[in-house]
């Protein structure tokens, strides 16, 4: 049975914080913890298809959200995932006041810095869980 | 005057390149298209959001943009929000092998070749928009995605 932690970002399309959530999750599953984590398409979860519910139901999940709507956390919970941590991009962004992070399309250098910080936080949680 | 806006909904799938291309192409249309105003919504808001989000496709003529042939954006929109006016399947444009690439998904890994794919998808979105009947515009208003300003 695949016991990888599922890291699911919101990938919000309206603001840079959605892109930061997406890139941080991908940095974690591709670069930092490829053996211990993977992602699942949030849009696939929204379909409610049986196959995707089976991928997430009962598994440990870390959600990464770019806005207070908490779409990733809510949808993962609805799908039956066990949300062990809800990462809020804005919590890390607050530590970088006055910086420009880029656009919903492309991150600036400061955006990349925050993404790497968030990814490191996620990786730490995953490594401490195992 | 009624607002002549088109809604564009991207799957933005995180598992493969097709999702990244769908997201970038949708953003490019939102930012650059001049012929008609466009608006978007984060797809997961259908479940996490409220009535306004669920009325999206009832308010706007809507185009879905999906990264692979699961067509999550199209199916979810029709399930929660109403019939859509057109759909774009990125995998049919860039090929299944490219669309399902799980190694190149991050923005920072994209090359000129991938940005060319984005352009091709943008063209298809524009074509889909141009096929929308003027009768499809309801004239109702919507402030756009809750997470952003467009």
- pLDDT confidence of A118, banded at 50, 70, 90? very high
pLDDT at A87: 98
Using CB atoms, pick whichever of B14, B26, B148 lies closest to residue A25. Answer: B14
- pLDDT confidence of B47, banded at 50, 70, 90? confident
Q: Chain A, 63-122: which have a CB under 8 Å from a chain B CB?
A: 66-67, 69-72, 74-75, 78, 104-107, 112
Residue of A nearest to B13 (CA): A41
Domains of chain A and any CATH numbers: 5-129 (3.40.50)
Q: Which residues of B touch A74 (CB under 8 A)?
A: 44, 47-48
Kindly report, residue by residue over A28-83, the tens digit of the pLDDT. 999 999 999 999 999 999 999 999 999 999 999 999 999 999 999 999 999 999 99
> Residue A100: CA atoms inside 13 Å, Cβ hemisphere, count?
4
pLDDT at B37: 87
Q: Which residues of A touch B31 (CB under 8 A)?
A: 105
Q: Is residue A47 a contact partner of residue B13, using CB atoms and an 8 Å limit?
A: no
pLDDT at B145: 62
User: CATH number of the domain at B5-136, please?
Assistant: 3.40.50
Q: Is A42 within 8 Å of B75 when comparing Cβ atoms?
A: no
> In angstroms, rounded to a whole number, what is the distance separating the alpha carbons of residues A76 and A56?
8
- Put simply, whether B22 touches A (Cβ < 8 Å) is no
ipTM of the complex model: 0.94
Pairing of β A5-9 and β A37-38 = parallel
Question: Global pTM?
Answer: 0.92
CB pairs under 8 A between A and B: 134
> Residue B32: CA atoms inside 13 Å, Cβ hemisphere, count?
12
Query: Which one, of B92, B37, B84, lies nearest residue B64 by Cα?
Result: B84
**Region B122-126 average pLDDT:** 97
- Distance in Å, alpha carbon of B73 to nearest chain A alpha carbon: 7
Burial classification of residue A18, based on how many CB atoms lie within 10 Å of its CB (0-12 exposed, 13-18 middle, 19 or more buried): buried
- pLDDT confidence of B133, banded at 50, 70, 90? confident
Q: Is B49 within 8 Å of A67 when comparing Cβ atoms?
A: no
Q: For an interface test with A, give the residue of B13, B32, B44 to mutate (most A CBs within 10 A).
A: B44
The DSSP code sequence of B99-110 is: HT-SSS-SGGG-
Structural domain boundaries in chain B: 5-136
**Region B13-42 average pLDDT:** 93
- Extract long-range pairs of A52-59: CB within 8 Å, 24+ residues apart: A52/A79, A53/A79, A53/A80, A55/A6, A56/A6, A56/A80, A56/A81, A57/A81, A58/A82, A59/A2, A59/A3, A59/A4, A59/A5, A59/A6
């Amino acid at each position: 049975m695949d016991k990888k932690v599922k890291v699911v970002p919101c990938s919000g399309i309206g603001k840079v914080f959605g892109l930061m959530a997406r890139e941080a999750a991908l940095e974690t599953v591709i670069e930092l913890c490829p053996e211990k984590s993977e992602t699942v398409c949030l849009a696939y979860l929204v379909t409610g298809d049986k196959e995707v519910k089976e991928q997430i139901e009962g598994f440990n999940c870390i959600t990464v959200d770019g806005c207070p709507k908490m779409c990733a956390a809510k949808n993962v919970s609805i799908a039956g995932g066990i949300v062990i941590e809800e990462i809020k991009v804005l919590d890390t962004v607050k530590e970088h006041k006055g910086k420009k992070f880029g656009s919903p399309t492309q991150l600036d250098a400061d955006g990349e810095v925050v993404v790497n910080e968030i990814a490191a936080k996620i990786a730490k949680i995953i490594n401490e869980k195992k | 005057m009624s607002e002549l806006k088109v809604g564009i909904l991207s799957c933005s799938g995180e598992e493969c390149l097709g999702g990244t291309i769908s997201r970038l192409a949708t953003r490019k249309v939102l930012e650059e298209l001049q012929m008609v105003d466009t608006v978007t919504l984060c797809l997961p808001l259908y479940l996490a959001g409220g009535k306004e989000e669920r009325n999206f496709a009832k308010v706007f003529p809507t185009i879905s943009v999906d990264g692979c042939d699961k067509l999550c954006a199209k199916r979810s929109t029709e399930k929660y929000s109403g019939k859509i006016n057109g759909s774009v399947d990125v995998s049919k444009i860039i090929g299944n092998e490219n669309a399902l690439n799980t190694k190149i998904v991050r923005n920072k890994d994209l090359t000129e070749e991938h940005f060319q794919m984005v352009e091709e998808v943008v063209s298809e979105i524009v074509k889909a928009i141009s096929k929308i009947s003027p009768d499809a515009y309801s004239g109702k208003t919507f402030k756009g995605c809750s997470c952003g300003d467009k």
